Amino acid sequence: MKIVVLAKQVPEADKVAVDPETGTLIREGVAAILNPYCEYALDEAVKLKNSHPELEIEVIAISMGPPFAVTALMRCLELGADEAYLLSDRKFAGSDVWATSTALKEGVAKLVPDFDLILTGKQAIDGDTAQVPAETAEQLGVPQITYGVETEIENKRIKVKRETDYGYQVLSARLPTLVTMSKGSNIRRIPSMQDVLDARKKKLEVKSADDLGIDESKVGLSASPTQVDRIFAPPEKAGGALVPEGTDPKVAARKLYDFLKENNYL
């Protein structure tokens, strides 16, 4: 059985700044990391591998990005992936979510055509669109389940516990299927020194658009139906009125009433 984990390298979230003139992210000098949600997906894949030795599961990590994104894939290998592929080519530059999903679809179809399950993070912390996994599943023609927190393989089907706004749902789909993972009980693990050494012996290859037979007209900026105009930080909101803890309920109610009235909410 083969599980593909789609991974992305992203800027470390707490160190990202926005250029006030251009409205774009300032990436120079910013540390790059494996997207945390992709890490949760990888952790889930390794859990499935360890809990189902009879299935002889292979975990293959695939990412699209610039050459230095190999560091994110090396992290995947350190955390338990068996092999990894980076789709990297100047022809991919400027790809929006649709063009990115096109490249990933071709990568999966060419490199792991006999995949059984695809796990991805629910979203990337730099863009937060959550569109690439869904579009990749659509292009591959497989079912998709989003916001998973737990998975189980049963009789060539995947059972997924997923988050909703009102609690949880448990859904089942035939394999092959794509599942996006939220945090759930998974944690961002620290690989051991042996894991780091073993990762250097695993297969990690870089594939170009030509290697995958991808039509240049279907990827990159020219093939992207959407473009980012600018990125900006939302304006800060003023803090609300606070009632000190332990305030008598009647006094608290009067303060709330006065606040609403003074601000023309009543």
Res 149: pLDDT: 94
> Integer distance in angstroms from the first to the last C-alpha of the chain?
62
Report yes or no on 169 lying in a domain: yes
Same domain, 154 and 262: no
- If you average pLDDT over residues 186-193, what whole number do you get? 82
Containing domain of residue 250, as a range?
236-266
Res 127: pLDDT: 73
List the structure tokens of 218.
Answer: 């279907």
Instruction: Yes or no: say if 131 and 16 are a contact pair by the CB < 8 Å rule.
Output: no
| Residue position matching structure tokens 């695939």 | 62
Instruction: Yes or no: say if 6 and 133 are a contact pair by the CB < 8 Å rule.
Output: yes
**CA–CA–CA angle 13, 181, 185 (5° rounding):** 90
Same domain, 255 and 173: no
Same domain, 219 and 243: no
Report yes or no on 11 lying in a domain: yes
Total of domains in the chain: 2
Same domain, 189 and 245: no
Instruction: Yes or no: say if 62 and 17 are a contact pair by the CB < 8 Å rule.
Output: no
Is the model's pLDDT at 22 over the cut of 60? no
Residues in the chain: 266
- CA–CA separation, 175 vs 23, rounded Å? 42
> Any bridge partners for residue 83, and if so which?
60, 203
Residues 6+ apart with CB under 8 A from 38: 5, 6, 7, 8, 72, 120, 121, 124
Report yes or no on 218 lying in a domain: yes
Report yes or no on 231 lying in a domain: no
Report yes or no on 121 lying in a domain: yes
Same domain, 254 and 208: no
Report yes or no on 112 lying in a domain: yes
Report yes or no on 228 lying in a domain: no
**Bigger pLDDT: 7 vs 221:** 7
Same domain, 21 and 144: yes
Express as a percent the part of the chain with pLDDT over 70: 92
**Bigger pLDDT: 231 vs 182:** 182
- CA–CA separation, 1 vs 118, rounded Å? 11
**Which CATH number characterizes residue 50's domain?**
3.40.50.620
Is the model's pLDDT at 238 over the cut of 90? no
Same domain, 130 and 254: no
Same domain, 253 and 196: no
- If you average pLDDT over residues 71-87, what whole number do you get? 96
pLDDT digits (tens, 9 = 90+) for 95-120: 889 999 999 999 999 999 999 999 99
**Bigger pLDDT: 243 vs 121:** 121
Same domain, 214 and 264: no
Is the model's pLDDT at 263 over the cut of 90? no
Same domain, 118 and 242: no
H-helix or E-strand spanning residue 50:
helix 36-51
Same domain, 124 and 206: yes
Same domain, 191 and 66: yes
